[in-house]
Amino acid sequence: MRGESSGLIIGLSIGVVIGVALAIAAFFCFRYHMKKSQIGNSSSRRAAMVPIHANGADSCTILSDSSLGTESPKSTTQNGMPSWLGGLKKANLVSASGILEYPYKDLQKATCNFTTLIGQGAFGPVYKAQMSSGETLAVKVLATDSKQGEKEFQTEVMLLGRLHHRNLVNLVGYCAEKNQHMLIYVYMSRGSLASHLYNEKLEPLNWDLRVQIALDVARGLEYLHDGAVPPVIHRDIKSSNILLDQSMRARVADFGLSREEMVNKHVSNIRGTFGYLDPEYISTRSFTKKSDVYSYGVLLFELIAGRNPLQGLIEHVELAAMNSEEKEGWEEIVDPRLDGKFDIVELNEVAALAHKCVNSKSRKRPSMRDIVQVLSRILKSRHNRKHQKDSSTPGTNEVIINIDKLGRRSHEHRRVESLDSTADSIDV
């Protein structure tokens, strides 16, 4: 009897253990299938979005020359469009960045069937769009035969979706319909800086305005280099890529060649605009923030001299440098359209700064943060002079920055915010 009871107990125990084991196995199988289903749904949702970075240190998508190549087997789907653009078509809004997808028919109507041409670049034509909402926009259309333009389209959407600054041209939307790829920007009513420097039909820019434009551009680049996470190198700073709004404030445009600093900086093919290219980049095939500084230095001399870099601007500058003494003697390169109406002290300071920016050795060039401080100080000094014409007492709040030491300044110094805010209030 006792043996039968023991056998029964043992049998029940084994049955309970087996039952528990089966229950646990069933539970984990259920969890596995549920998780797999969630991953599939999440992947579907992500595929419907533009692959745009979050603006933070946890951003993990990396731009590189190779990752943007059109030769990838994943690069095309139906209608010959890239797979990521197929995802774009499915989304009415890119929730992460607030970038809108504009219907093709709305842009067609707003541009009078794409007849309101306002510009033409390597990417393709740019049209003015008068939307039914009343807003005015600029629509950049990818040339259908431009493989490089397709890369630049993706780059601009990915970068500008997370870059927002008052001195950058803001991307507000895109269109990827009817085999067309378009980027939609805030309309800059005064056009490019290049047109104001070289178009004889437009009134010449006065000296005060040229310095203000130089500061606006410097601030935009400072944000890219020191404010964006991760930092961004523009790689194509030139006067035609600087656009002016109704108030003649400048913004940096065209991010098609831009790259995040964290990517491999060594490239096989040189990209950019000759005349603005850093000689060190040309010789090493490696670009850095200081490559942008060099291009910016060329732009500064372009503002001073009103001469196109493709017409021997730097050679002209070097000849003048032989006759100048650091911060003096730059008058001979001044744009004749200024008709002698400029502050000679400011001219020499800006020219000396520009000359440091185009130093053949990148380590001797100032940072964009240094440049912003020098130009802010110049505008602050001008502001003080205007308010102290009847007083012999010099401004006590003036901050002096030694231009000679810019190339050796630490990048850890704090930005002088008072200079930034003061310069914004100056009327030019």
Q: How far apart are CA 415 and CA 221, in angstroms?
A: 14
The domains of the chain, with CATH numbers, are 78-186 (3.30.200.20), 193-424 (1.10.510.10)
pLDDT of residue 98: 60
Which pair of tokens denotes residue 248? Answer: 């003649």
The chain-wide mean pLDDT, for the chain, equals 76
pLDDT tops 50 at residue 237: yes
Confidence of residue 390 (pLDDT cuts 50, 70, 90): low
pLDDT of residue 254: 87
Residue pair 198/252 in contact by the 8 Å Cβ criterion: no
The residue type at 45: R
Q: Any idea of the CA torsion for 306, 338, 303, 122, to the nearest 10 degrees?
A: -50
pLDDT of residue 124: 82
Q: Pick 324 or 292 by higher pLDDT.
A: 292
Confidence of residue 2 (pLDDT cuts 50, 70, 90): low
- pTM > 0.85: no
Instruction: Please give the full DSSP string across 145-213, using - where no structure is assigned.
Output: T-HHHHHHHHHHHHHHTT---TTBPPEEEEEEETTEEEEEEE--TT-BHHHHHH-TTSPPPPHHHHHHH
Percent of the chain with pLDDT over 70: 68
Helix (H) or strand (E) holding 99: strand 99-101
Question: Which residues are CB-neighbours of 152 under 8 A, at least 6 positions away?
Answer: 123, 256, 257
pLDDT of residue 157: 78
- Which single residue is written with the structure tokens 């030491």? 405
pLDDT tens per residue, range 240-280: 999 999 999 999 998 878 888 766 666 667 888 999 999 99
- Which single residue is written with the structure tokens 């499915």? 90
Q: Pick 196 or 161 by higher pLDDT.
A: 196
pLDDT tops 90 at residue 343: yes
pLDDT tens per residue, range 207-216: 999 999 999 9
pLDDT mean over 272-290? 92
E strand residue ranges, 201-329: 232-233, 242-244, 250-252, 259-260
Q: How far apart are CA 121 and CA 149, in angstroms?
A: 10
Residues acting as catalytic residues: 236
For residue 90, which phi and psi values (nearest 5 degrees)?
-80, -15
CA proximity to 369, closest of 402, 415, 308, 404: 415
Q: Pick 309 or 28 by higher pLDDT.
A: 309
